[in-house]
Amino acid sequence: MSRNDTYLVKTLVENWRREMEAAQLYQLSADAERDPRRKEILVRLAEVERRHAQMWEEKLAGLGVDTGALEVPRVTAPEGDGPQLLARIEAIEQGNGAWYQSLRNVIDDEDILGIIDQIDRDEAQHGDLDALLHSRQAAQRRLDKLWKSERHRQGTSDWLGDAIYGVNDGLGAIFGIIAGVAGYTANTHTVLISGFFGALASTLSMGAGAWLATRSENEVMETAIRQEREEIEQDPAHEVEELALLYQLKGFTPEESQRIAEQIAQDPDAMLKTMVLEEFGIHEANQGNPWKSALFGAVSTFIGGVIPLVPFFFMNGLPAMVAAAVVSILAHFAVGAAKSLITVRSWWASGLEMTLVGVIVGVVSYGLGELAARVFGVAAGG
């Protein structure tokens, strides 16, 4: 068997394995399902996946492969309830779809492409698993996916904003320190040491501050959720009335609002999630990770703080200070321009604003250093 044939056989075995895995997961889900209609749907989907596996098995047999020796993948149900199992199935189906699409780019065998086409038609026919099963859990899973997508975009903006803020904080603080110390003394070593330990202090301070801030925000949200849970338990009628009024403000009629609120109140967990979202704008996805915030804040601050110090590792005296000023001003412009990624302002306007701030900080700090040298009578050579 040639190398190409070996590769083809391995690919077809992988196709067979993927379909068998999906079939077993559908069957596990069907076995755990109590609703007769949903159970029937899941059994039918398991049969479809077995038929797909059979098509790959027949193709392998045509290539002379002993299909009886194929090892059926062992699949176990994940811990948790039915929706978690369905979520795993859907993830596998999406992965299989991407896998088959990639095969179209590297395989030109008409029989194989025909099988992939048939699988695509079958998948399109039974469509979205949520819509097919049509349940509250399905709606919740779909909403969770939408929230996850939005959180990804928001999360990207959050960490990018934290990183930009951290770099700016470190850059501005350390540039101010070295400018002030340089105005106080011409001793390059003193300037470098002052700036370096200033960068370390800013890094630790920013990391600790970010950790405490995120943790405090989480505690505030947890407190609001706990209080709302107690209110629902102590006076459910009042909370139903409150929720109905909130829906009236959204444009529903009093009758519609009351009906919706009473329907939601039948599920305590759904009632709690709805109330904290409608009343406080809190969703469980809003909680941040204190350690992640601390890491981004600390690392970005240290990076920003080191930038003005770089020239002092290679130069001395006035040339080092001039180079540090140039590097810092350019870095201020770059950080300001980067802010346009998370704001609506143009990159050049944001960059110029940040540059102006950096220049003011440097000039004022240097002037204060010169003043201190005169007041305390320290020689320029320090």
Judge whether residue 363 has pLDDT over 80: yes
DSSP 70: P
| Mean pLDDT rounded to a whole number for the chain | 81
Judge whether residue 207 has pLDDT over 80: yes
**101 in the same domain as 158:** no
The whole-number pLDDT of residue 2 equals 62
Q: Picking from 123-127, 134-138, 214-218, 311-315, which range would have the lowest pLDDT averaged per residue? A: 134-138
**199 in the same domain as 79:** no
**pLDDT one-digit tens code per residue, 221-278:** 889 889 989 989 998 998 888 888 887 877 788 888 888 889 889 888 888 888 888 7
**109 in the same domain as 202:** no
**160 in the same domain as 107:** no
The last residue of a domain, from among 70, 105, 134: 134
The answer to whether position 147 is within a domain reads no
**161 in the same domain as 112:** no
The answer to whether position 139 is within a domain reads no
Q: Is 74 helix (H, G, I), strand (E, B) or coil?
A: coil
The answer to whether position 350 is within a domain reads yes
Q: Is the overall model pTM greater than 0.85, yes or no? A: no
Is residue 243 within 8 Å of 262, Cβ to Cβ?
Answer: no
Domain that holds residue 253: 154-376
> How far is Cα 273 from Cα 276, in angstroms, rounded to an integer?
6
**128 in the same domain as 160:** no
**pLDDT one-digit tens code per residue, 31-45:** 887 778 778 888 888
**58 in the same domain as 186:** no
Q: Is 350 exposed, middle or buried (0-12, 13-18, 19+ CB in 10 A)?
A: buried
**172 in the same domain as 46:** no
Q: Picking from 11-15, 79-83, 204-208, 303-307, which range would have the lowest pLDDT averaged per residue? A: 79-83
pLDDT above 90: percentage of residues in the chain: 17
The whole-number pLDDT of residue 55 equals 93
**pLDDT one-digit tens code per residue, 80-89:** 455 666 677 7
**263 in the same domain as 372:** yes
Q: How far are the Cα atoms of 194, 203, 222, 315, 327 from residue 178, in angstroms, in the given order?
A: 7, 16, 43, 14, 13
Number of domains comprising the chain: 2
What is the residue-wise DSSP string for 75-130?
--PPSS-HHHHHHHHHHHHHHHHHHHHHHTTT---HHHHHHHHHHHHHHHHH--HH
| CATH number, residue 63 | 1.20.1260
The whole-number pLDDT of residue 129 equals 53
The whole-number pLDDT of residue 194 equals 93
